[in-house]
Amino acid sequence: MPALLSIGTFRRGRSSRYPTKGCDVLLSESAEVLAIDARGLVKVFGNNRAVDGVDLRVPAGMVYGVLGPNGAGKTTTIRLLATLLTLDGGSASVFGHDVTTEADAVRGRVSLTGQFASVDEDLSGTENLVLLARLLGFSRSAAAARAAELLAAFDLTEAAGRQVKTFSGGMRRRIDIAASIVVTPDLIFLDEPTTGLDPRSRNQVWDIIRALVGAGTTVLLTTQYLDEADKLADRIAVIDRGTVIAEGTPSELKASVGAGTLRVRVQDPRRRARAGEVLAGALGGRVEPDPDPSAVLVRLPAEIQADQAASRATAALADLAAAGVPIADFALGQPSLDEVFMALTGHPAEDGSDPEKGPAKKSPAKNSPEKEDAA
């Protein structure tokens, strides 16, 4: 989707609720502008603290990932920051505007694409985008032009005249995101935008996200897919049971659980057990199962830092040679985000539990994220 990088942007004016063309992203006041500054966020539903002291500091101009399993509190956190729910504790600001006392100003800077479709499925792609543009203050001609730009950028031109209910899952996500940037936001919340999509459609959405950031929009992305966070996010907050349990770049998070693994394939499978003994002793790590009968996989202990891994692995391989165990090949691997999450929480990211019990879903209304996705 590289075309998205070259289309015009329409941003809300500072003193008007209507869009103006060619406005720069408002990042020039300071090199350290925070798109989000949240401290101690709390949201309680009955006896459940869905969000329990969340702190987030999101610099402008990046993809910031919020990673966690179903029910971790990701969606509730987004709804608090987007002014769709009121805080029960803590404070938050978006580009310096308090989400409680300056909610209108916050809404003028953000957009939200939720987990459910925000567009009218009985209308065509063009009709949806033109309708939203007209509601946002575009003239008829400007609305039509903006709709055509977005449809072309999102590779939806051929389907533009079809009812959205005939779109595939990937096409629906693209038209949803297009609806969210009719007026280009300074900050867009994308709540699990690729859930349920096939690999090709996921890659298309990833391209859109990269293009949005390239055009100056800050993206807060929630996901339960570790590969998605690893590929897209500049920084990641790991959230579990309503609390941020770790934060950093993908590399920092991986380094926090150790230097990774050393995988060695021996020339003679009968020497595999001996190789495991030598490597475990040399590295102080544990041998893990490997389906290859010639391979030994050793988990490096946490005390071996990432910058020490190569030298320690070299010494271990020398010990193998001294023990008379010839090797065919070897590889030193960095921990994955899956391993990071398991180490931090004790369970996988996609555990399917749902401790987050928010309010009952309402019919689409003013304060419903499904209808405010394109606001």
Domain ranges of the chain: 2-254+353-372, 258-334
Q: Which helix (H) or strand (E) holds 296?
A: strand 295-299
The topology under which CATH files domain 258-334 is: Alpha-Beta Plaits (3.30.70)
Contacts of 6 (CB under 8 A, 6+ apart): none
| Contact in structure between 175 and 204 (CB atoms under 8 Å) | no
Task: Write out the chain's pLDDT in tens, 375 residues.
Answer: 444 444 445 655 443 333 333 333 343 444 568 999 999 999 999 999 999 999 999 999 999 999 988 889 999 999 999 999 999 999 999 999 999 999 999 999 999 998 877 899 999 999 999 999 999 999 999 999 999 999 998 899 999 999 999 999 889 999 999 999 999 899 999 999 988 888 888 888 899 899 999 989 999 999 888 889 999 999 999 999 999 999 999 888 887 766 678 899 999 999 999 999 999 999 988 888 788 999 998 988 877 776 788 898 999 999 999 999 999 999 988 777 777 777 777 766 665 444 444 443 333 333 333 333 333
Strand order in the sheet with 295-299: 286-288, 295-299, 261-266, 327-333
| The two three-digit tokens of residue 27, written as one number | 């990042």
Which pair of structure tokens corresponds to residue 194?
């690729």
What size, in residues, is the chain?
375
- Predicted confidence at residue 191, as pLDDT, reads 92
What per-residue confidence (pLDDT) applies to 359?
A: 40
* CA dist., res. 261 & res. 92, Å (int): 40
In Å, what is the CA distance from 234 to each residue of 66, 223, 227, 253, 348? 11, 14, 13, 12, 22
pLDDT of residue 15: 34
Is the CB of residue 32 less than 8 Å from the CB of residue 59? Answer: yes
The CATH H-level superfamily of 2-254+353-372 is P-loop containing nucleotide triphosphate hydrolases (3.40.50.300)
DSSP annotation string for 317-349: HHHHHHTT--EEEEEEEPPPHHHHHHHHHSS-T
> What is the predicted pLDDT for the residue at 3?
44
Identify the CA nearest to 51 among candidates 370, 346, 361, 356: 356
